[in-house]
Amino acid sequence: MLDISSRVRVHVETLLAAQNDMGVCDAFEQYAPVGKPDTMNAPHPPKVAGIDSTVPSPAHTVAPAPATSGTPSATSATPVTEPRTAPGAVLQDRLAGWVSDLTTLHELTERLARTGSLDSALKEAVHAGAALVGARRGLVVLEPGDGLGPETTVGLGLGRADLGHIETVPRSSLPYGRILDGLPGGDGELAQPDLFAEDGLDPRHREVAARLGYAASYALPLSTEAAGRLGAAVWLYDEPAEPVERQRHLVGLYTRYAAEHLARLVEVERTRTCMATIAEELLPSRLPRVAGVQLAARHRTGPRGGGDWYDALPLPDAALGLAVGSVTGSGPSAIAAMGRLRASLRAYAVMEGEDPVAVLSDLELLMRLTEPARSATALFAYVEPALRRITLAGAGHSPPLVIGDRRIEYVETSLSAPLGMLACWEAPGVELAALPGETVLLYTDGLLQRTGESVDRSFARLHAAAAGVPRALRTDPGAIADHVLRTVLPDGLDEAGGTEDVVLLAARFE
């Protein structure tokens, strides 16, 4: 709490009001005292986190000169008087410091609110907290008390090896361990101003602290009333030190807001993980082994969970059915529709898989009766590995890509509408003869859409990626799929850089 008289004390908790349609100036006017304040002589509080206040600090008044002992000289013509300090100057100085704190907290919480992922929010929280308490390094340990995860540790100024050294210390000796395990004294702030002067410090903790070069720590729990305990934040000092009361108050307010923000992101991450798990369970757990052909699949789920899918199933007469598709929409409803569509296509493929047009026609009729408000794209291929012959049909789907030593080309398929768009769907099938060593790549539109480019440029990028597959990798369909993903979607876009699902299914003929 700032050192301000009770008549003019303004609580820093009004930051919450400042974030809810009340600016700093409004909060200043609301809490400015009416009447003559008491005279204060304390110095201007220092800035926090190096952020300048939007209100300029007034010049400090000159301190009164000390009275001289003895009797004034008789030759002195005028009496000696002490300069008087204007009562409002110190008050204005104090309030300017308080507004600086408000501005700092407002800016830090705004930066935290702009983070959209759990990892970035944890990094921002430990960085801002270190600035508020005057530390150079720190770490935040996310370990929700309900045991549902996710669990992670993020460091500031600490490498992975440094975090590994800290984890070798018994948890009961670490501040975050006492907080997370509910040990005595772990329900609030934990300050260790001088680790090496502390009695009973675990020898391993002393050894790790000396090795990493920190001599003091300050820890706070991260918890909310609704979510309970989420984790703990610890800041490390290079020399014996601890935050002053004002710093503790500011970082306490910040971590209270940070915990609420982290709780929301934890729920989002749990939902995303749950949907990704459900989507993976609805897809084949393993690909079949069929003589004459090698298979590999890659699936990337978007953050909201989409309806892209693939399938590979053995058929009578040593044949093989390959399918890829995409259901419109995202979230749990799209994932459920994808599961129903894939299960239906498997049944139709077993009954009449040698005619891909009939398979998709039956699927269209089923969708029209059971999913009238949804559409989907699909491609089904009937493969005869012994003859290296493929018969396929597509409903609004992107054409397959043939990758070989002599050719890199798209399969010419007829244009057709997606399933669920027309009263009666039918399109001619296409036959393709693959050469030994060639790979046929099936994929969903998410691969093209994640590039952020036009359709023509995306197709050109995919073609160039396939042409650039090294010859040493062309014997492995999995290596071909990985190379295409990395080339078409650089900078990690193949992992979680887009909202669309991505599916690749590669079949290499021997």
Q: According to the model, what pLDDT value does residue 498 have?
A: 57
User: How many of the other CB atoms lie within 10 Å of CB of 228?
Assistant: 11
- Cβ burial of 486 (10 Å; 0-12, 13-18, 19+) is middle
Q: What's the pLDDT band for 280 if we cut at 50, 70, 90? A: confident
455 and 317 inside one domain? yes
Q: Is residue 78 part of a domain?
A: no
Query: Where do the H-state alpha helices sit in 353-427?
Result: 356-370
Q: According to the model, what pLDDT value does residue 431 have?
A: 92
308 and 433 inside one domain? yes
405 and 489 inside one domain? yes
Q: According to the model, what pLDDT value does residue 84 have?
A: 60
pLDDT digits (tens, 9 = 90+) for 229-259: 999 999 999 999 999 999 999 999 999 999 9
Q: According to the model, what pLDDT value does residue 425 have?
A: 65
Q: Which residue, 220, 241, 271, sits at the end of a domain?
A: 271
Tokens 């308080």 belong to residue: 98
Q: According to the model, what pLDDT value does residue 494 have?
A: 54
Closest CA to 323 of 336, 309, 337: 309
Is residue 191 over pLDDT 90? yes
CATH no. for residue 396? 3.60.40.10
Q: Is residue 11 part of a domain?
A: no
Tell me how many domains the chain contains. Answer: 2
- Print the domain residue range for 133: 115-271
Is residue 57 over pLDDT 50? no
Q: According to the model, what pLDDT value does residue 48 have?
A: 41
362 and 266 inside one domain? no
Closest CA to 379 of 338, 424, 335, 413: 413
Q: Which one is predicted more confidently, 496 or 264?
A: 264
Task: Tell me how far apart the alpha carbons of residues 101 and 29 are, in angstroms, rounded to a whole number.
Answer: 16
pLDDT digits (tens, 9 = 90+) for 131-180: 999 999 999 999 999 988 899 999 999 999 999 999 999 999 999 999 99
pLDDT digits (tens, 9 = 90+) for 382-396: 999 999 999 999 988
Is residue 360 over pLDDT 60? yes
- Supply the DSSP symbol for 48: S
Q: According to the model, what pLDDT value does residue 217 have?
A: 95
Q: According to the model, what pLDDT value does residue 87 have?
A: 66
Q: Is residue 96 part of a domain?
A: no
Q: Is residue 428 part of a domain?
A: yes
Q: Which one is predicted more confidently, 11 or 138?
A: 138
Map 22-35 to HEC letters. Answer: CCHHHHHHHHCCCC
pLDDT digits (tens, 9 = 90+) for 483-501: 999 999 876 555 555 567 8
Query: DSSP string of 283-338?
Result: S-SS---BTTEEEEEEEE--TT-EEEEEEEEEETTTEEEEEEEEEEEESHHHHHHH
User: How many of the other CB atoms lie within 10 Å of CB of 106?
Assistant: 18
Is residue 457 over pLDDT 50? yes
Q: Is residue 377 part of a domain?
A: yes
257 and 293 inside one domain? no
Q: According to the model, what pLDDT value does residue 41 have?
A: 36
pLDDT digits (tens, 9 = 90+) for 395-427: 888 999 999 999 999 998 777 888 888 766 677
Task: Tell me how far apart the alpha carbons of residues 130 and 141 are, in angstroms, rounded to a whole number.
Answer: 15
Q: According to the model, what pLDDT value does residue 75 have?
A: 40
Q: Is residue 51 part of a domain?
A: no
Closest CA to 428 of 397, 384, 391, 377: 391
Q: According to the model, what pLDDT value does residue 495 have?
A: 57
CATH no. for residue 206? 3.30.450.40
- Provide the percentage of residues in the chain whose pLDDT is more than 90: 53
Tokens at 253, concatenated: 């307010």
Is residue 42 over pLDDT 70? no
Q: What's the pLDDT band for 336 if we cut at 50, 70, 90? A: confident
Pairing relation of β-strands 376-384 and 190-192? unpaired
453 and 497 inside one domain? yes
259 and 308 inside one domain? no
How far, in Å, are 211, 387, 437 from residue 370 at the CA level?
66, 37, 42
User: How many of the other CB atoms lie within 10 Å of CB of 397?
Assistant: 26
Q: What's the pLDDT band for 85 if we cut at 50, 70, 90? A: low
State the distance between the two ends of the chain, measured CA to CA, in whole angstroms.
Answer: 75
Q: Which residue, 228, 249, 271, sits at the end of a domain?
A: 271
Residue-averaged pLDDT of the chain? 81
Q: According to the model, what pLDDT value does residue 27 have?
A: 39
Is residue 5 over pLDDT 60? no
341 and 428 inside one domain? yes
476 and 503 inside one domain? yes
How far, in Å, are 33, 61, 92, 96, 401 from residue 58 at the CA level?
18, 9, 7, 8, 71
Residue 5 CA from chain centroid, whole number: 44
Is residue 291 over pLDDT 70? yes
Task: Tell me how far apart the alpha carbons of residues 289 and 312 are, in angstroms, rounded to a whole number.
Answer: 10
- Provide the percentage of residues in the chain whose pLDDT is more than 70: 80
380 and 493 inside one domain? yes
231 and 345 inside one domain? no
Is residue 45 over pLDDT 50? no
Overall pTM surpassing 0.85 (yes/no): no
Q: Is residue 353 part of a domain?
A: yes
Q: Which one is predicted more confidently, 45 or 475?
A: 475
Q: What's the pLDDT band for 303 if we cut at 50, 70, 90? A: low
Q: Which residue, 221, 248, 271, sits at the end of a domain?
A: 271
Q: Is residue 84 part of a domain?
A: no
332 and 448 inside one domain? yes
Tokens 């709490």 belong to residue: 1
pLDDT digits (tens, 9 = 90+) for 315-330: 999 999 999 999 988 7
